[in-house]
Amino acid sequence: MKKLLASMAVAAVLAPASAFAEDVPFTATVASTCGIVVNTAGTLGPNGDASVLSSANGTAAAATVTANALNFTLSVGAPSGWVTSPTGTPTTSFDAAMTFGGTTYSTSDTPSVPATATPVSVDMSATAASGSFPNGSYSTNATLTCSS
């Protein structure tokens, strides 16, 4: 009996505290994304005879485009019409442009978006086909598009 107890005591001392150590792997994937935050809307001001309303005579809209990859393009689109306008508003043609990184782009340009937070200013103009814009309130939306 004493021999058995002694053998068990020796075996307990020799037994390892932990027999195995394994790595536990972790992985992660961050999808490429692009986001637009419009910081401030702009205003349009009339020229001398009120035949043109433009942000050049008002203020440009400001947005921040944030991308985490280089596979996105940015484009600006002119409105197709007024959202609100007074009665008697003449037929209107619109144009828009965006500026970032010191370069101004037209509606036909699709530059790549830097993989960072980029301030973008958006300008717009509305030109009356004939005559001038009557007094009243006007609103419309240019479109800023970030696409993959």
Partner 1 sequence: MIKKTTYFLSAIVAGSLAMTLLPSEAAAQSMSPMRGKVNSFTDSFALKVYPANPYDHRIRIEVKVYDQDFRPLSDARVSPSNFTLAGQFARPVTVTVPFNGDKARRVRICTESVPFPGQAQNNVKAQVCGKFIGERVN
Site string for partner 1, 115-134 (x = CB under 8 A): -------xxx----------
On the 0-12 / 13-18 / 19+ scale of CB atoms within 10 A, 136 is exposed
Binding flag, residue 145, partner 1 (CB under 8 A): yes
Question: Contact region for partner 1 (CB under 8 A) — 7-15, 18-26, 55-63, 105-113?
Answer: 55-63
Binding flag, residue 38, partner 1 (CB under 8 A): yes
Binding flag, residue 139, partner 1 (CB under 8 A): yes
Region of residue 80 (left: phi > 0; alpha: psi -120 to 50; beta: else): alpha
| CB nearer partner 1, residue 9 or residue 70 | 70
Between CA 96 and CA 8 the distance in angstroms is: 88
Binding flag, residue 93, partner 1 (CB under 8 A): no
| CB nearer partner 1, residue 7 or residue 43 | 43
Backbone angles phi, psi at 7, to 5 degrees: -60, -40
Rounded to whole angstroms, what are the CA distances from 106 to 25, 64, 81, 99, 110? 49, 18, 18, 9, 9
> For tokens 């301030």, what's the residue?
119
Total of chain residues touching partner 1, rule CB under 8 A:
40
List interacting residues with partner 1 (CB under 8 A): 28-38, 41-44, 53, 55, 58-61, 63, 72, 83-84, 122-124, 137-148
